[in-house]
Amino acid sequence: MFVFVCTGCGAELTAPLDRVELPVHARQKYGNGLQLPVLMAPGTFAVEPEGWGAPWRGWHEVGPDEAAERGVFAPVPRLSDAPPGAVVIAPGEAHGTVLVPENRGSGYCCGLDGAGGPNMACAACGVPVATRIDDCSLWQAVWLEPTAVRGLPVEGAEAAPLTWAEVLAAGERVPPYGPVVSWGDRPRPATWWSAWSPQWEAAAGRALAHLLVASGGQPVAVPDGLAAEVFQPALDALLPTGPATRHAVLAGPDLPVPGAGADVLLVPTHPQTGETWAPAAAHTCAYRVPLPFGVWFALAFPQADLPDLPAGRLPAGVSRDEDQPLAPPRPHHPFQVDFGILQQTLVRLPAVRRPWLRDILDDTRRHTSAGMIQRGTVLR
Do 141 and 244 reside in the same domain of the chain? no
* Whole-number pLDDT of residue 66: 95
- Rounded CA gap, 148 and 5, in Å? 9
In a domain, 42, yes or no: yes
* Whole-number pLDDT of residue 311: 45
* Whole-number pLDDT of residue 166: 94
Do 149 and 262 reside in the same domain of the chain? no
Do 143 and 224 reside in the same domain of the chain? no
Do 130 and 221 reside in the same domain of the chain? no
* Whole-number pLDDT of residue 41: 95
In a domain, 253, yes or no: yes
In a domain, 182, yes or no: no
Write out residues in the chain with pLDDT < 50, as ranges.
Answer: 188-192, 306-313, 376, 378-380
**pLDDT tens across 184-197, in order?**
555 544 444 568 89
**Count of structural domains, the chain:** 2
In a domain, 192, yes or no: no
Do 224 and 298 reside in the same domain of the chain? yes
Report CA-CA distances (Å) from 119 to 11, 83, 105, 144, 215: 18, 17, 9, 10, 44
Domain that includes residue 122, residue range: 2-49+85-153
Do 149 and 246 reside in the same domain of the chain? no
Query: How crowded is the C-beta side of 143, counted as CA atoms within 13 Å?
Result: 28
Which of 94, 125, 153 marks a domain boundary? 153
In a domain, 350, yes or no: yes
pTM over 0.85: yes
In a domain, 378, yes or no: no
* Whole-number pLDDT of residue 245: 84
Domain at 20, CATH number:
2.170.150
Do 223 and 118 reside in the same domain of the chain? no
Report CA-CA distances (Å) from 278 to 164, 167, 266: 11, 15, 11
* Whole-number pLDDT of residue 330: 78
Phi, psi of 90 (to 5 degrees): -70, 145
| Burial class (CB within 10 angstroms; exposed 0-12, middle 13-18, buried 19+) of 341 | buried
Report CA-CA distances (Å) from 6 to 93, 100, 120, 169, 351: 15, 16, 12, 38, 41
In a domain, 172, yes or no: no
* Whole-number pLDDT of residue 372: 62
Do 133 and 238 reside in the same domain of the chain? no
Do 216 and 271 reside in the same domain of the chain? yes
Do 235 and 335 reside in the same domain of the chain? yes
Do 213 and 343 reside in the same domain of the chain? yes
- Rounded CA gap, 115 and 297, in Å? 35
* Whole-number pLDDT of residue 190: 40
List helix spans (H) across 85-223.
164-170, 198-215
In a domain, 130, yes or no: yes
* Whole-number pLDDT of residue 105: 56
Cα end-to-end distance, the chain, whole Å: 29
Do 128 and 22 reside in the same domain of the chain? yes
